[in-house]
Amino acid sequence: MAKKYFGTDGIRGRVGEGSITAEFMLKLGWAAGKVFAAQGVKNILIGKDTRISGYMFESALEAGIISAGVNVKLLGPMPTPGIAYLTRTLGAQAGIVISASHNPFEDNGIKFFSGEGTKLPDRLEFAIEEMLDQPMTTVSSDQLGKAFRIEDAAGRYIEFCKSTLFGRNKLNGLKVVVDCAHGATYHIAPSVLMELGIEVHQIGVSPDGLNINEQCGATKPELLQKTVVEKGYDLGIALDGDGDRLIMVDHAGEIVDGDELVYIIAKHKQALGVLDGGVVGTLMSNLGMELALKELHIPFVRANVGDRYVLEQLQENNWSVGGESSGHIICLNKTSTGDGIVSALQILDAMVSNNASLHELKQGMTKMPQTMVNVRMQERCDPLANADVQQAVAATEETLGDRGRVLLRMSGTEPLVRVMVEGDDVELVSSLANGLADQVEKALA
């Protein structure tokens, strides 16, 4: 059964439209409070990123939860993974994140964490949606919840991030540019790095409620690239608005994406004897990572696109390292969810332990050229159910051999088929992708 409000990563949209209104958030807080109360929950944490609408939604959720008889602990601006960590450690049974991650300030959204700091199971999301259809009632005055502000939330999370790195002083001498996207890590990431002895230059640390992710951060790393090269720093760290995504820049100004970062982390953990199995990527992970891991005899599996599916595969296989090329990286032996700061520290540890630059560490993996073409359909359908499409895919795969890959993937939001081809030769890949896209378009017309 499809969910009415929840997507693969919570509820998200344009502020003032659909579910992203103060009225809906009041009801959502109440509905979540009622469902969690039935599970024995007494305390729910609320944290947010820096976009201006967070104030409005924080107040609405707080009122709704309290009206359901559940206490609220307010964290203020806090990275999504920080909220997951504090939910586990502050005696709360659930956590709420007010954030639209890498989206512009006009958008916002809601994500929930369980008391273990993981995404909510589907059954609880369905239960919340069912409760949203019920009339809102308020518990008696003597049963109302209370609200508390956690004053030392940032300090607690900073200490946790530092604790994921062995030998806190061995990063002395590194020079790092950090870009916090004017988001939730603006008061966290620089402190973590500086307290570990790193010389830090900060950008994207002046949020005004309207500039989150604006021409900066993990989705727009051009300013970071320029700054690293101009200042002659060792590397750059780019986080997104809510701090769960990481992209890095080496000393030459070259972007190091999530696939390359996962490869570096896995290789380092293998050398230390603490890899705990294999690596989980997604359908979009570059073939170059799969081949590089194969050379290291590290098992690799692909999950559906989305960090929740990466996490599911990690848990199913009892592995610890996985991620997406977009920069969502999960290190389950360190924390319960994707964490940009914690992931960055694992890369810095690999650099220092190997006495190697980021540029050198990424050389073990060669990214394959990849071309993506979007094909619009008249109506949504499974393209691989079409015999002509199957034949065209088979012909493309035969041309690529074992040094290439074809993926046809339905868009989750539009009537589009995403046609992706990877291989050794950039011109061949482009030609094959466009040719396959033409065949798909004809077959589905």
Q: What is the pLDDT of residues 315-337, one digit of tens each?
A: 999 999 999 999 999 999 999 99
- What rounded mean pLDDT belongs to the chain? 93
> Burial, 208: exposed, middle or buried (Cβ in 10 Å; 0-12, 13-18, 19+)?
exposed
pLDDT category of residue 416 using cuts at 50, 70 and 90: confident
Mean pLDDT confidence for 237-248: 97
Residue 385 confidence (pLDDT): 75
Superfamily of domain 370-444: Alpha-D-phosphohexomutase, C-terminal domain (3.30.310.50)
Q: Which class is domain 11-151?
A: alpha beta
The C-alpha atoms of residue 332 and residue 387 are separated, in whole angstroms, by 41
Indicate the length of the chain as a whole number.
Answer: 445
Q: Do domains 11-151 and 370-444 have the same CATH topology?
A: no
The C-alpha atoms of residue 357 and residue 363 are separated, in whole angstroms, by 10
Q: Which numeric CATH code is attached to 156-364?
A: 3.40.120.10
pLDDT tens digits for range 157-181: 999 999 998 765 579 889 999 999 9
The C-alpha atoms of residue 61 and residue 67 are separated, in whole angstroms, by 10
Q: At residue 118, does pLDDT exceed 90?
A: no
Residue 307 confidence (pLDDT): 87
Mean pLDDT confidence for 193-204: 96
Q: How far is CA 314 from the centre of its chain?
A: 15
Token pair recorded at residue 227: 């700054």
Candidates 19, 53, 99, 101; catalytic one: 101
- Alpha-carbon torsion 230, 232, 233, 234, what sign? positive
Q: Which amino acid is at 390?
A: Q
Residue 167 confidence (pLDDT): 62
pLDDT category of residue 409 using cuts at 50, 70 and 90: confident
- For the chain, the farthest-separated pair of C-alpha atoms sits apart, in whole angstroms, at 72
pLDDT category of residue 136 using cuts at 50, 70 and 90: very high
Q: At residue 388, does pLDDT exceed 80?
A: yes
Give the predicted TM-score (pTM) of the model.
0.91
Residue 301 confidence (pLDDT): 97
Q: Is 101 tagged catalytic?
A: yes
The C-alpha atoms of residue 323 and residue 346 are separated, in whole angstroms, by 14
Q: At residue 384, does pLDDT exceed 90?
A: no
- Alpha-carbon torsion 223, 226, 232, 233, what sign? positive
Distances (CA, A) of 108 to 20, 21, 100: 7, 10, 4
Residue 418 confidence (pLDDT): 87
> Could you write out the three-class secondary structure of the chain?
CCCCCCECCEEEEECCCCCCCHHHHHHHHHHHHHHHHHCCCCEEEEEECCCCHHHHHHHHHHHHHHHCCCEEEEEEECCHHHHHHHHHHCCCCEEEEECCCCCCCCEEEEEEEECCCCECCHHHHHHHHHHHCCCCCCCCHHHCCCEEECCCHHHHHHHHHHHCCCCHHHHCCCEEEEECCCCCCCCCHHHHHHHCCCEEEEECCCCCCCCCCCCCCCCCCHHHHHHHHHHCCCEEEEECCCCCEEEEEECCCCEECHHHHHHHHHHHHHHHCCCCCCEEEECCCCHHHHHHHHHCCCCEEEECCCHHHHHHHHHHHCCCEEECCCCEEEECCCCCCCCHHHHHHHHHHHHHHHCCCHHHHHHHCCCCCEEEEEEECCCCCCHHHCHHHHHHHHHHHHHHHHHCEEEEEECCCCCEEEEEEECCCHHHHHHHHHHHHHHHHHHHC
Q: Where are the domains of the chain?
A: 11-151, 156-364, 370-444
